[in-house]
Structure 1
Amino acid sequence: MPAAPDFPPAPDAVRPVRALISLSDKGGLEAAARALHAAGVELISTGGTRAAIAGFGLPVKDVADLTGFPEMMDGRVKTLHPVVHGGLLGVRDAGEHRAAMEAHGIGPIDIVWIDLYPFESTIAGGGDFASAVENIDIGGPAMIRSGAKNHGYVAVAVDAASIAEIVAAVKADGTTSLALRKRLAARAFARTAAYDAAVSGWFAGQVEDGAPARKSMAGSLAQTLRYGENPHQTGAFYRTGEVRPGVARAEQVQGKELGYNNIADADAAYELVAEFEAPACVIVKHANPCGVAVGRDLADAYQRALEGDAVSAFGGVIAVNRGLTGADARAITDIFTEVVIAPGADEEARAAFAAKKNLRLLLTDGLPDPLAAGEVFRSVAGGFLVQSRDVSRIAPADLKIVTRRQPTPQEVEDMLFALTVAKHVKSNAIVYAKDGQTAGIGAGQMNRRDSARIAAIRAREAGEAKGLAHSLAQGSACASEAFFPFADGLIEAAQAGATAIIQPGGSIRDDEVIAAADELNLAMAFTGVRVFRH
């Protein structure tokens, strides 16, 4: 490891004399450039940014005038030069550094404002391989890192918020403080790390490397949360580069600030409701759906979803897959609801929600595609797990009927509806459903029999709430997201009123389970696909 330069601690206040600016997005450039010029800061720039500053009528020096080398190779080589990086990295109070700068005519650069080539937006917009490669910035990250390393003297801006802080400091007393420069340096290193993560992740995908030797994740802060899952835990919400409609990209129209659990539940609800073509409503409580239904319209779907478990729905999160009308909003606001997330809402709906000032209304720019490939992450101590998103979808033709009794067309429809819901329920999961409506859901139990029992309790209570003499699960289909290891869970489902069973199959006791189904005159289908959700 090289020895640290022999210099005193960095000064608190640095009066900037030179700023190097290179931007892809010129938004805010004129105001910042004028403010820096007014403060006596010399402006240095390249290419289009230099032309823009000159167009404002401000004096600006081209980097080529410093280096003595013209911009070349289609702009790939312009700032990678000792005069530039010496001006950024030189420790002003270290004798050897100062002597080298004087000997080689290297002037200090005290402010760097660079936003990098638009690589992320290029790939998000579907740019081809060559376009993506050309938008990999080399000189920009190098200058940002040089300036951030030498934060004892250099203030680095990588976004509009950063340059605004620098301009405000310079306007105040003509200097930047060490505390500001440190804060900006941390932000700068995070930006280059995120940029490199985007490039490396994209490149791994191009060469179809599903498990690269090193994998990076990056996100930009969307919101500092009041707390995490519990009040004694800190929390924050970050957006990644994935362009997927949902809670991360939603506009919060009204209501209290979103909490950690609100965000997690809204995501779970929206991902499930996007699975359905017909008007649908999903009610989620603590990461699990408690009621799911399709209907003639959203108001009808909501009422049917609520019937599945009105007790659990209180204080839940509601997701729908259509734009909300006033009638929909009035129906939804009948009970206390934490969050509503939808692809849109008309003015009448917004007015109805506005009467519930604490309700958070989130509107997105569409629905997530349940069949679109992607990755999901989960942290563990000392690492994280990565897997592909579950994009499985079972069609009637995929079913293998293993019982003597064949399911009716209605039972097939009910089985597939129940399985779609079960895919989004924490394991072990059992879902009873009939006529596009969940009757009972059992989630997160240590054995499948207990999940079947809990779902049966919910279905019985739902039937009672409707004034029925029988359980809502009577004549329903039962979905299990993994195989029945024993016949006991299936027997519980039959006792609850289910007449058809859908499950992956694959247990060493499949024959025993099939025999039990035949004895109970159930129709049972195997899918061959497990859809665990831990």
Structure 2
Amino acid sequence: AELYSLKERLPFEKLNGKELSYNNILDSYGSFTAVNDFQNPACAIFKHVTPCAMAIGEDICSAFEKAWSCDPLSAFGGIVALNTPCDAKIANFLSKKFIEIIIAPDFDKQALELLKKKTNLRILKWNEDIRKSRLIKSVGDEFLISDSDNIVFKDKIKAVSGELNEREEAALKFAFTCVKHIRSNAIVLTNETQTVGIGAGQMSRVDSVLMAAEKYRQYLKNNTKPEFLYLASDAFFPFEDAVIEAHKNGISNIKKLHKKPDSRYPASMRHIRFHLSNFYRRLPLNLRSTRSLIWLAKANSCS
């Protein structure tokens, strides 16, 4: 594979490691785009063009530690992206792990020395924000060209049932920012600052819910159960099956009652609070994706 650019130079410098493969390039661009959607210090770990973990923190070390704890099994051989400079503490931890690539806008001197001891590790210093670039995809001998998908929310979240306080709204926005970067059908379970279960790339949305729930069960083996779970979906639920499975796997005991329970759901589930993003993603050829749903639930143990 060969990489071409419409600009005079690439947006990154390779400071160390082997040549970048086709998948390395896709994961590098995807992961650095993802972390730059957050205002807080953020870390994303990508595998096969989709995140296996995302987190934010008060500082980049906190964000990295949360991201790694989300799904350390999947993080093996992954791509780690940071939206602020990498320090020695992170570098020291990663020097003992196998990852393909570490990406950051900069690296302090000690961090670079530690990381360069792994001669095959690709170290990318990213110099510019690439989110405004147009997207070009080849299909046969043709090309699809679209504007970048830079908007997470068009306007405020619409509460279909119950009310949102500022803390809850911030958590839901974090969850929806995460799901934007996950391959459809995409479901993500989060606490307020990190993903705790990701279901990606399944042919049915209910299977993505089941995958996210299983990842959440694995997360609970080594981490404290969050007080609240937030679920985000990259599209609407056409049937009740995904909502029912989410409920079975720990999404229940909601803070406020659903004002108008949906008669399709069992009575025990009519407390789920639904919130609409009211945002359509603009795709090439004027194709439009469906409206997305997110809801808040109090965490029960997944059993």
Q: Give the alignment's TM-score, normalised by structure 1.
A: 0.49
Instruction: Give the one of 258, 273, 277 matched to 1:527.
Output: 277
1:415 aligns with 2:169: no
- What is the one-letter code of the residue matched to 1:440? G
- What is the one-letter code of the residue matched to 1:293? A
Q: Which residue of 2 aligns with 1:349?
A: 111
CA distance in 2, matches of 1:300, 1:332: 14
CA distance in 2, matches of 1:332, 1:298: 14
**Aligned partners of 2:182 and 2:200 also within 8 Å:** yes
Per-residue displacement from partner, 1:361-406 (whole Å, max 9, x unpaired)? 00022444x4x4x4211111231212211122227x6111112x33
1:326 aligns with 2:79: no
Q: Which residue of 2 aligns with 1:299?
A: 61
Q: Which residue of 2 aligns with 1:126?
A: none
- What is the one-letter code of the residue matched to 1:241? K
How much has 1:515 moved relative to structure 2?
Answer: 6.1
CA distance in 2, matches of 1:477, 1:499: 11
CA distance in 2, matches of 1:500, 1:394: 27
- What is the one-letter code of the residue matched to 1:447? S
Q: Which residue of 2 aligns with 1:494?
A: 247
Bigger share in strand: 2
Q: Which residue of 2 aligns with 1:479?
A: 232
Instruction: Give the one of 74, 82, 101 matched to 1:312.
Output: 74
- What is the one-letter code of the residue matched to 2:229? S
- What is the one-letter code of the residue matched to 2:140? A
SS at structure 2 position matched to 1:421: helix
Q: Which has the higher contact order (CA 8 A, sep 6+)?
A: 2
Q: Give the alignment's TM-score, normalised by structure 2.
A: 0.84
How much has 1:496 moved relative to structure 2?
Answer: 2.9
How much has 1:242 moved relative to structure 2?
Answer: 8.6
Instruction: Give the one of 160, 163, 167 matched to 1:402.
Output: 160
SS at structure 1 position matched to 2:221: helix
1:237 aligns with 2:3: yes
**Aligned partners of 1:476 and 1:499 also within 8 Å:** no
Query: 5 Å matches for 1:259-298?
Result: 259-298=21-60
- What is the one-letter code of the residue matched to 1:526? L
How much has 1:411 moved relative to structure 2?
Answer: 2.7
Instruction: Give the one of 431, 434, 440 matched to 2:197.
Output: 440
Bigger share in helix: 1
Per-residue displacement from partner, 1:479-517 (whole Å, max 9, x unpaired)? 00111111211222233334699xxxxxxxx99599679
CA distance in 2, matches of 1:322, 1:300: 12
Q: Which residue of 1 aligns with 2:218?
A: 461
- Flag the 1:265–1:320 CA change in 2: closer, same or farther, 3 A: same
Query: 5 Å matches for 1:1-80?
Result: none
CA distance in 1, matches of 2:267, 2:222: 30
Larger Rg, first or second structure (1 or 2): 1
Q: Which residue of 2 aligns with 1:377?
A: 136
**Aligned partners of 1:323 and 1:346 also within 8 Å:** yes
- What is the one-letter code of the residue matched to 1:389? S
**Aligned partners of 1:481 and 1:532 also within 8 Å:** no
CA distance in 2, matches of 1:292, 1:279: 11
CA distance in 2, matches of 1:513, 1:292: 35
CA distance in 2, matches of 1:462, 1:241: 42
Q: Which residue of 1 aligns with 2:299?
A: none
**Aligned partners of 1:269 and 1:284 also within 8 Å:** yes
Q: Which residue of 1 aligns with 2:186?
A: 429
- What is the one-letter code of the residue matched to 2:108? D
Per-residue displacement from partner, 1:456-494 (whole Å, max 9, x unpaired)? 11111011133x5x5x6x621100011111121122223
- What is the one-letter code of the residue matched to 2:39? E
Q: Which residue of 2 aligns with 1:389?
A: 148
How much has 1:519 moved relative to structure 2?
Answer: 3.5
Q: Which residue of 2 aligns with 1:340?
A: 102
- What is the one-letter code of the residue matched to 1:328? I
- What is the one-letter code of the residue matched to 2:159? I
- Flag the 1:378–1:511 CA change in 2: closer, same or farther, 3 A: farther
**Aligned partners of 1:432 and 1:479 also within 8 Å:** yes
- What is the one-letter code of the residue matched to 2:240? A
Q: Which residue of 1 aligns with 2:294?
A: none
- Flag the 1:500–1:483 CA change in 2: closer, same or farther, 3 A: farther
Structure 1's unaligned 5+ residue stretches are 1-234, 502-509
How much has 1:257 moved relative to structure 2?
Answer: 1.1
- What is the one-letter code of the residue matched to 2:277? T
CA distance in 2, matches of 1:513, 1:277: 40
How much has 1:239 moved relative to structure 2?
Answer: 1.4
- Flag the 1:532–1:434 CA change in 2: closer, same or farther, 3 A: farther
**Aligned partners of 1:517 and 1:523 also within 8 Å:** no
CA distance in 2, matches of 1:458, 1:239: 38
CA distance in 2, matches of 1:498, 1:254: 44
Q: Which residue of 2 aligns with 1:28?
A: none
- What is the one-letter code of the residue matched to 1:391? N
- Flag the 1:326–1:434 CA change in 2: closer, same or farther, 3 A: same
Q: Which residue of 2 aligns with 1:208?
A: none
- Flag the 1:494–1:410 CA change in 2: closer, same or farther, 3 A: farther
How much has 1:343 moved relative to structure 2?
Answer: 0.3
**Aligned partners of 2:41 and 2:58 also within 8 Å:** yes
CA distance in 2, matches of 1:411, 1:242: 44
**Aligned partners of 1:517 and 1:524 also within 8 Å:** no
